[in-house]
């Protein structure tokens, strides 16, 4: 057994993940003794806040140019990892708030909800912090297992069971592709960590290009499943629709952020190494095709949906396409642009789903456009928040979604992918149609007698989540520099190697 | 926020914005005086902050920059949001918040019992916030934000009583005409960014100073800026919106359409002074537009019969004087006239508001007269305002107008552009000014009452909340003039103070005796004008003009020099024709094409839905096929390469 070098293990970089894990276990124990669900939720939020403090600390360190890493370069706490961790924690916190406010009403009042969310978030944090394919795989599985269970949370409802099973089966399939990709990459490069792989692939004299490319394609397939790139996206509409809405919120924002965080890092290192070698043009071509297909299919799929929940599910696919623009520009401005986009996306998507829980009935049904008709009169604040989130999703200024879109499109153009940028703009036009349809229903149509808003007291925690989402969406749109400068100026380990 | 009290003034617009938000969102739930108290409070607080900044600014040479936040630093374009506080912006802040505070207080009485009380104060606060952003901005881009903001508030307030069709129409007209000017602003910014690579005002000015004297780029930017200024400040040929804008509540006319917003154009030129000082051609455009506007509007004002429309044309004319000042390079003089004009024109509007209030909505001067007996305080303050604007010595308007005349006469920047003729034009305009303002005062307050029966029963002096602001403004209409006494014989405070913030342009001052002579000429012009009004309207009771009334000149002047009819024929008619043609094109050609593309999109969307079978095996198959195809392609491409 070889001795590890001095300073090889730096435990402190694990702090956000360990903090979440600790609180996951704590809430699991509390759930046994404590019947007050609000208290458990508060403990979960405390854990999230604690982890956020650590992540913020690392982000500030990265601003000062002293980003840390542990276990060699296998676990990173640089600007990218910390910023994405913060976005994940934000999404998790919103999912906790929405769940706290709606689970009892949906007759799903099991205390395991919170520990499962925290466990899944732990995996997500590990994914975005990974500097090594094995670490990434571990994070991916930790995150996914908990989400499989959460998707099937309503065990007495067929759609929910179906959603969980579908997600599990297809997710296993995707994991298999992913692991095969790791194996091929290891076979070609002889390393697991990104930094070494990038160096090996870019070096002159490297021969096994095709093997490495095959590995990269399978890695794209595996992670593309989680972010819902076409043709690996088909689970998303069904699972998002079938899962209980609070869980859908979590899946739509946190899982996507984690998968993109990982994909961006891989793209900025391993893919960049491959692109520097011979056959360098192939991989960007593959990505461009996948992303273009995602933009088209996601937006077209959302266009004809009658249910708002399903429309938002397709919209999540479409947004994977827009974020894909950042992936093809990952080496340059892409990482910062995606970091901004995902923060905006988390706020506006979680906000829209949170409003949805308030419109849908106690059976988690009733999400057609009819149910939104006249909402502007009946619940002006709720409708206003929904309008902010939807207009932001459509990319209309002055909301955060607009700035996000500008940033990713600009990143893609700078990286030379003009065609993709044009496609993104054209499909955005289609997107306005399906988002605006809901806004129009809320403000310009009378309430239909068939679709009544359920009479019940408003849930304070959901209101808080909606408020955070709507105000955040507006604030990030008006003052984008507050968040973007942190992303742009922070130190990213591994990236500097890619700049020749 | 630093420890420097000057930078605290950056809070002023935020305070006003806060007032606007509270009144806008929760105003309906607040009972009557509270929205007004809140709105007035934040503006008074803003005035205190401005005063503090002014007092502590002292004799500094350089302004204080307050960077608020980075908007979005991308691709070399620095979109930072920041304020620049120097002599010029501080003086404008004092005008905006000072006059603004008085008019807020006055509005407490004027808007009493109105259904839209909170809405009114929300818009008024929003206006103050936008106007402060306009004058404090450190970049043209942020200034444009304020520029558009005041435009929106002006639109909202002109159409405030939106139930009468006339008012929203006037609001729309103002907005559309202003958009033409805004296009100039945008084009100027594009050209600036292309020429200098920055939009920060200080950098643009520094770069302009280093540019070749009279360069074409500078002239183009200058003319485009003047187009913007002509829209906002109602100069030829974009002045047509201001008379109609009088449809708004009178305090709004006083604040926005006399004292502050309409002077934004003058401020824009003064702010860009180093650029204009480098370009005599652009400066000549500014000065000549101003001079012609001053003359034409004064002529038109003589024939108007609405108490507020007379003042509106008077404002257009006085703004013309200011543009001449900044055009000939006397930037401090232009701003000085902005200051004195804000006081006496604000005062005149508020007195006319007091009259309208007292008469229960009557606005036609032919049905007024003799009101001095019923409203002594209003009449007294109106007299002060009239004499000040007419240019009677020792009142504020005299000093600022005299400075404009002197500097036009002595201009070297425009020596080749007919400065002498321009002086003559201004002297004639000054005579007319005294005449129409004399007519205004005499018809309203002197002579026999010609009130309608119901107005006669109601007429009363306004409450104290309205008369106190009148008295304060009347005092200011006298005192502000002493800030800028003629420099050749007396201490002048404002010129050296404003100089570092603008630009220095040389003047060929005439000898001492000639300066006294010029002053004499100006005084003579005033006396002739006032005497004419006195003789015609008081001694002869208007008989001489009755004979002229059907003449061509009178008709011309009554119709506002025919601009509305001209635009109706030359612009509105063709535009409507084009709209109809475009509508046909849109409906019969474009929409059909679009409908086809919508159908195609719909078919494609259905295709996507068909693939979504809901069966796991199909999904897995799609994933597998996708992965295999990709792998196959990669291998094929890799082997071939």
The pLDDT, as a whole number, for residue A499 is 42
- Asked if A231 is an interface residue toward chain B (Cβ–Cβ < 8 A), one would say yes
User: For residues B184, B186, B187 and B188, what is the CA-based torsion angle, rounded to 10 degrees?
Assistant: 80
The pLDDT, as a whole number, for residue B582 is 84
CB of A377 within 8 A of CB of A313?
no
Task: Indicate yes or no: CB of A214 within 8 angstroms of CB of B73.
Answer: no
Alpha carbon of residue B360 to chain centroid: 29
Grade residue A453 by pLDDT with cuts at 50, 70 and 90: low
- Which of A32-36, A164-168, B118-122 has maximum average pLDDT? A164-168
Please tell me which of the candidates A165, A230, A479 has its beta carbon nearest to residue B69.
Answer: A479
Question: Is the pLDDT reported for residue A132 higher than 80?
Answer: yes
Residue in chain A nearest B635 by alpha carbon: A210
| CA dist., res. B418 & res. B365, Å (int) | 38
| CA dist., res. B74 & res. B77, Å (int) | 6
Please tell me which of the candidates A290, A300, A480 has its beta carbon nearest to residue B605.
Answer: A300
ipTM value, please give it: 0.87
- Asked if A63 is an interface residue toward chain B (Cβ–Cβ < 8 A), one would say no
Q: What is the pTM of this model?
A: 0.77
pLDDT top residue among B164 and B226: B226
Q: Which of A448-452, B402-406, B557-561, B593-597 has the lowest mean pLDDT?
A: A448-452
Please tell me which of the candidates A170, A209, A414 has its beta carbon nearest to residue B619.
Answer: A170
Task: Indicate yes or no: CB of A221 within 8 angstroms of CB of B630.
Answer: yes
- Asked if A218 is an interface residue toward chain B (Cβ–Cβ < 8 A), one would say yes
Q: What is the average pLDDT score of chain A? A: 89
Chain B closest-CA separation from residue A195 CA (Å): 24
Grade residue A468 by pLDDT with cuts at 50, 70 and 90: very high
DSSP B234: T
Task: Indicate yes or no: CB of B69 within 8 angstroms of CB of A282.
Answer: no
Q: Which residues of B167-186 are buried (b: 16+ CB within 10 A; e: fewer)?
A: bbebbebbbebbeebbebbe
The pLDDT, as a whole number, for residue A497 is 43
pLDDT (tens digit per residue) in A211-229: 999 999 999 999 999 999 9
DSSP B263: G
Question: Is the pLDDT reported for residue B122 higher than 50?
Answer: yes
The pLDDT, as a whole number, for residue A139 is 96
Percentage, residues of chain A above pLDDT 70: 95
CB of A15 within 8 A of CB of A54?
yes
Q: What is the mean pLDDT of residues B574-603?
A: 81
Domain ranges of chain B: 158-560, 564-640
Tokens representing B100 are 């603004």
The pLDDT, as a whole number, for residue A456 is 64
The pLDDT, as a whole number, for residue A111 is 78
The pLDDT, as a whole number, for residue A59 is 94
The pLDDT, as a whole number, for residue B22 is 86
The pLDDT, as a whole number, for residue A452 is 62
- For A433, phi then psi, to 5°, come to -60, -50
Grade residue A3 by pLDDT with cuts at 50, 70 and 90: low
The pLDDT, as a whole number, for residue B356 is 85
CB of B58 within 8 A of CB of B101?
no
CB of A253 within 8 A of CB of A346?
yes
Question: Is the pLDDT reported for residue B75 higher than 70?
Answer: no
The pLDDT, as a whole number, for residue B512 is 81
- Burial class of residue B152, CB neighbours in 10 A (0-12, 13-18, 19+): middle
Task: Indicate yes or no: CB of B634 within 8 angstroms of CB of A484.
Answer: no
Q: Which of A53-57, B330-334, B546-550, B635-639 has the lowest mean pLDDT?
A: B546-550
pLDDT (tens digit per residue) in A30-75: 888 877 888 889 999 999 999 999 999 999 999 888 888 888 888 9
Chain B positions touching A279 (Cβ under 8 A) are: 637-638, 641
Please tell me which of the candidates B70, B72, B625 has its beta carbon nearest to residue A403.
Answer: B72
The pLDDT, as a whole number, for residue A447 is 77
pLDDT (tens digit per residue) in B145-181: 999 999 999 988 888 888 888 888 888 888 888 888 8
Please tell me which of the candidates B607, B614, B631 has its beta carbon nearest to residue A214.
Answer: B631
B631's enclosing H/E stretch is: helix B616-640
pLDDT (tens digit per residue) in B462-489: 778 788 888 888 888 888 888 877 777 6
Percentage, residues of chain B above pLDDT 90: 13
- Asked if A407 is an interface residue toward chain B (Cβ–Cβ < 8 A), one would say yes
Question: Is the pLDDT reported for residue A325 higher than 70?
Answer: yes
The pLDDT, as a whole number, for residue A450 is 58
Residue in chain B nearest A478 by alpha carbon: B71
Number of CB pairs < 8 Å for A and B? 107
Q: What is the average pLDDT score of chain B? A: 84
Task: Indicate yes or no: CB of A217 within 8 angstroms of CB of B75.
Answer: no
B544's enclosing H/E stretch is: helix B543-548
Grade residue A498 by pLDDT with cuts at 50, 70 and 90: very low
Chain B closest-CA separation from residue A312 CA (Å): 15
| CA dist., res. A140 & res. A135, Å (int) | 9
Question: What are the residues of chain B with a beta carbon less than 8 Å away from any beta carbon of chain A?
Answer: 69-75, 601-602, 604-609, 611-612, 614, 616, 618-620, 622-627, 630-631, 633-635, 637-639, 641
Chain A positions touching B607 (Cβ under 8 A) are: 300
Chain A positions touching B606 (Cβ under 8 A) are: 304
Q: Is the preceding omega at residue A134 within 30 degrees of 0, hence cis?
A: no
| CA dist., res. A488 & res. A465, Å (int) | 28
Q: What is the mean pLDDT of residues B316-329?
A: 91
Task: Indicate yes or no: CB of B631 within 8 angstroms of CB of A166.
Answer: no
Angle, helix A400-414 to helix A335-359, in steps of 10 degrees: 150
Q: What is the mean pLDDT of residues A341-347?
A: 96
pLDDT (tens digit per residue) in B438-456: 888 988 888 777 777 776 7
Please tell me which of the candidates B602, B620, B634 has its beta carbon nearest to residue A170.
Answer: B620
Task: Indicate yes or no: CB of A481 within 8 angstroms of CB of B69.
Answer: yes
Task: Indicate yes or no: CB of B72 within 8 angstroms of CB of A231.
Answer: no
Residue in chain B nearest A433 by alpha carbon: B598
pLDDT (tens digit per residue) in B23-68: 888 877 778 788 888 888 888 988 998 888 888 887 777 778 887 7
Please tell me which of the candidates A231, A300, A482 has its beta carbon nearest to residue B622.
Answer: A231
3-state secondary structure chain A: CCCCCCCCCCHHHHHHHHHHHHHHHHHHHHHHHCCCHHHHHHHHHHHHHHHHHHHHHHHHHHHCCCCEEECCCCEEECHHHHHHHHHHHHHHHHHHHHHHHHCCCCCCCCCCHHHHHHHHHHHHHHHHHECEHHHHHHHHHHHHHHHHHHHCCCCCCHHHHHHHHHHHHHHHHHHHHHHHHHHHHHHHHCCCEHHHHHHHHHCCCCCCHHHHHHHHHHHHHHHHHHHCCCCCCCHHHHHHHHCCHHHHHHHHHHHHHHHHHHHHHHHHHHHHHHHHCCCCCHHHHHHHHHHHHHHHHHHHHHHCCCEHHHHHHHHHHHHHHHHHHHHHCHHHHHHHHHHHHHHHHHHHHHHHHHHHHHHCCCCCCCCEHHHHCCHHHHCHHHHHHHHHHHHHHHCCCCCHHHHHHHHHHHHHHHCCCHHHHHHHHHHHHHHHHHHHHHHHHHHHCCCCCCCCCCCCCCCHHHHHHHHHHHHHHHHHHHCCHHHHHHHHHCCCCCHHHHCC
The pLDDT, as a whole number, for residue A289 is 93
Please tell me which of the candidates B75, B619, B641 has its beta carbon nearest to residue A410.
Answer: B75
Task: Indicate yes or no: CB of B73 within 8 angstroms of CB of A481.
Answer: yes
The pLDDT, as a whole number, for residue A261 is 95
pLDDT top residue among A286 and B457: A286
Task: Indicate yes or no: CB of B623 within 8 angstroms of CB of A170.
Answer: yes
Q: Which of A68-82, A461-475, B505-519 has the lowest mean pLDDT?
A: B505-519
CB of B160 within 8 A of CB of B74?
no
DSSP B130: H
B310's enclosing H/E stretch is: helix B307-327
Percentage, residues of chain B above pLDDT 70: 97
Question: Is the pLDDT reported for residue A255 higher than 90?
Answer: yes
The pLDDT, as a whole number, for residue B510 is 81
- Asked if A293 is an interface residue toward chain B (Cβ–Cβ < 8 A), one would say no
B197: left (phi over 0), alpha (psi -120 to 50) or beta: left
């Amino acid at each position: 057994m070889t001795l590890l070098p001095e300073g090889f293990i730096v435990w402190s970089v694990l702090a956000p993940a360990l903090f979440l894990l600790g609180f996951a276990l704590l809430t699991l124990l509390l759930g046994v003794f404590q019947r007050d669900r609000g208290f458990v939720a508060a403990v979960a939020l405390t854990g999230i806040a604690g982890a956020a403090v650590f992540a913020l600390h690392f982000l500030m360190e990265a601003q000062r140019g002293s980003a840390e890493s542990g276990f060699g370069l296998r676990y990173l706490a640089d600007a990218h990892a910390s910023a994405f961790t913060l976005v994940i924690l934000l999404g998790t916190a919103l999912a906790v708030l929405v769940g706290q406010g709606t689970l009892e009403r949906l007759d799903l009042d099991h205390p395991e909800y919170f520990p499962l969310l925290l466990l899944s978030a732990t995996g997500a944090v590990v994914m975005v912090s990974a500097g090594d394919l094995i670490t990434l795989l571990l994070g991916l599985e930790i995150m996914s297992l908990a989400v499989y269970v959460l998707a099937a949370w309503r065990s007495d409802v067929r759609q929910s069971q179906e959603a969980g099973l579908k997600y599990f089966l297809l997710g296993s399939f995707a994991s298999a592709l992913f692991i095969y990709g790791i194996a091929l990459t290891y076979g070609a490069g002889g390393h697991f960590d990104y930094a070494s792989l990038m160096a090996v692939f870019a070096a002159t004299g490297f021969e096994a290009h095709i093997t490495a490319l095959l590995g990269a394609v399978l890695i794209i397939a595996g992670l593309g499943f989680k972010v819902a790139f076409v043709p690996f996206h088909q689970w998303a509409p069904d699972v998002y629709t079938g899962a209980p809405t609070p869980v859908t919120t979590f899946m739509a924002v946190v899982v996507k952020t984690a998968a993109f965080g990982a994909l961006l890092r891989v793209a900025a290192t391993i893919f960049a190494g491959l692109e520097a070698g011979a056959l360098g043009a192939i991989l960007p071509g593959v990505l461009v095709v996948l992303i273009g297909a995602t933009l088209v299919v996601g937006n077209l799929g959302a266009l004809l949906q009658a249910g708002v929940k399903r429309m938002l599910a397709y919209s999540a696919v479409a947004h994977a396409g827009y974020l894909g623009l950042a992936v093809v520009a990952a080496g340059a401005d892409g990482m910062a642009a995606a970091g901004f986009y995902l923060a905006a996306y988390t706020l506006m998507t979680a906000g829209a789903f949170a409003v949805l829980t308030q419109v849908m009935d106690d059976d988690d049904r009733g999400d057609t456009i009819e149910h939104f008709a006249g909402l502007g009169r009946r619940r002006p604040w709720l409708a206003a928040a929904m309008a902010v989130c939807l207009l932001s999703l459509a990319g209309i200024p002055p909301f955060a979604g607009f700035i996000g879109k500008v940033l990713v499109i600009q990143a893609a153009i700078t990286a030379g992918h003009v065609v993709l940028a044009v496609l993104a703009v054209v499909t955005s036009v289609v997107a306005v149609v399906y988002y605006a349809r809901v806004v129009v229903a809320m403000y310009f149509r009378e309430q239909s007698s068939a679709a009544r808003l359920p009479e019940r007291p408003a849930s304070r925690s959901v209101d808080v989540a909606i408020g955070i989402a709507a105000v955040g969406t507006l604030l990030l749109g008006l003052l984008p520099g507050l968040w973007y400068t942190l992303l742009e100026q922070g130190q990213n380990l591994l990236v500097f190697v890619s700049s020749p | 926020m630093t420890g420097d009290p000057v930078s605290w003034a950056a809070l002023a617009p935020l305070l006003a914005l806060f007032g606007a938000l509270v009144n806008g969102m929760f105003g309906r739930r607040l009972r009557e005086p509270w929205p007004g108290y809140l709105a007035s409070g934040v503006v008074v607080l803003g005035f205190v902050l401005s005063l503090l900044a002014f007092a502590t600014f002292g004799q500094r040479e350089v302004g204080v920059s307050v960077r608020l936040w980075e908007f979005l630093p991308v691709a070399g374009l620095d979109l930072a949001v920041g304020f620049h506080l120097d002599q010029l912006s501080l003086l404008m802040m004092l005008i905006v918040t000072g006059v603004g505070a008085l008019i807020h207080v006055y509005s407490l009485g004027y808007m009493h019992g109105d259904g839209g009380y909170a809405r009114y104060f929300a818009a008024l606060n929003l206006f103050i916030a936008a106007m402060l952003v306009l004058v404090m901005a450190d970049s043209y881009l942020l200034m444009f934000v304020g520029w558009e903001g005041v435009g929106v508030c002006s639109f909202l307030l002109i159409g405030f009583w939106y139930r009468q069709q006339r008012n929203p129409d006037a609001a729309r007209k103002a907005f559309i005409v202003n958009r033409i000017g805004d296009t100039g602003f945008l084009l100027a910014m594009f050209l600036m960014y292309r020429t200098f690579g920055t939009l920060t005002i200080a950098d643009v000015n520094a770069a302009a100073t280093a540019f070749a004297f009279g360069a074409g780029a500078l002239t183009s930017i200058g003319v485009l800026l003047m187009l913007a200024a002509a829209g906002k400040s109602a100069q030829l040929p974009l002045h047509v919106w201001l008379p109609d804008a009088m449809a708004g509540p009178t305090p709004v006319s006083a604040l926005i359409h006399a004292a502050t917003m309409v002077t934004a154009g003058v401020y824009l030129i003064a702010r860009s002074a180093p650029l204009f000082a480098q370009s005599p051609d652009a400066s000549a455009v500014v000065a000549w537009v101003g001079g012609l506007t001053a003359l034409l509007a004064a002529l038109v004002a003589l024939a108007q019969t609405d108490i507020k429309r007379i003042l509106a044309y008077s404002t257009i004319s006085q703004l013309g004087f200011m543009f001449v000042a900044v055009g000939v390079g006397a930037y401090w003089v232009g701003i000085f006239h902005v200051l004195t004009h804000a006081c006496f024109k604000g005062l005149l509007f508020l007195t006319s508001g007091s009259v309208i209030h007292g008469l229960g909505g009557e606005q036609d001067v032919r049905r007024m007269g003799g009101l001095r007996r019923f409203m002594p305080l209003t009449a007294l303050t109106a007299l002060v305002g009239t004499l000040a604007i007419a240019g009677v010595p020792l009142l504020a308007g005299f000093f600022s107008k005299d400075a404009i005349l002197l500097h036009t006469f002595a201009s070297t920047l425009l020596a080749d552009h007919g400065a002498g003729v321009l002086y003559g034009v201004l002297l004639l305009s000054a005579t007319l000014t005294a005449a129409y303002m004399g007519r205004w005062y005499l018809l309203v307050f002197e002579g026999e009452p010609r009130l309608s029966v119901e107005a006669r029963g109601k007429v009363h002096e306004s409450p104290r909340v309205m008369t106190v602001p009148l008295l304060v403004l009347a005092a200011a209409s006298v005192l502000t003039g002493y800030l800028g006494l003629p420099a050749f014989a007396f201490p002048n405070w404002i010129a050296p103070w404003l100089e570092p913030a603008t630009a220095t342009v040389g003047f060929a001052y005439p000898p001492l005796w000639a300066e006294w002579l010029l002053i004499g000429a100006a005084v003579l012009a005033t006396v002739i004008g006032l005497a004419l009004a006195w003789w015609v309207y008081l001694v002869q009771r208007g008989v001489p003009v009755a004979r002229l009334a059907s003449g061509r000149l009178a008709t011309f002047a009554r119709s506002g020099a025919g601009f509305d009819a001209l635009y109706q024929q030359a612009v509105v008619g063709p535009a409507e024709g084009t709209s109809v043609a475009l509508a046909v094109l849109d409906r019969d050609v474009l929409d059909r094409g679009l409908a086809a593309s919508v159908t195609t999109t719909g078919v494609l969307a259905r295709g996507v839905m068909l693939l979504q079978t809901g069966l796991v095996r199909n999904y897995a198959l799609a994933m597998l096929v996708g992965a295999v195809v990709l792998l196959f392609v990669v291998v094929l491409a890799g082997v071939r390469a």
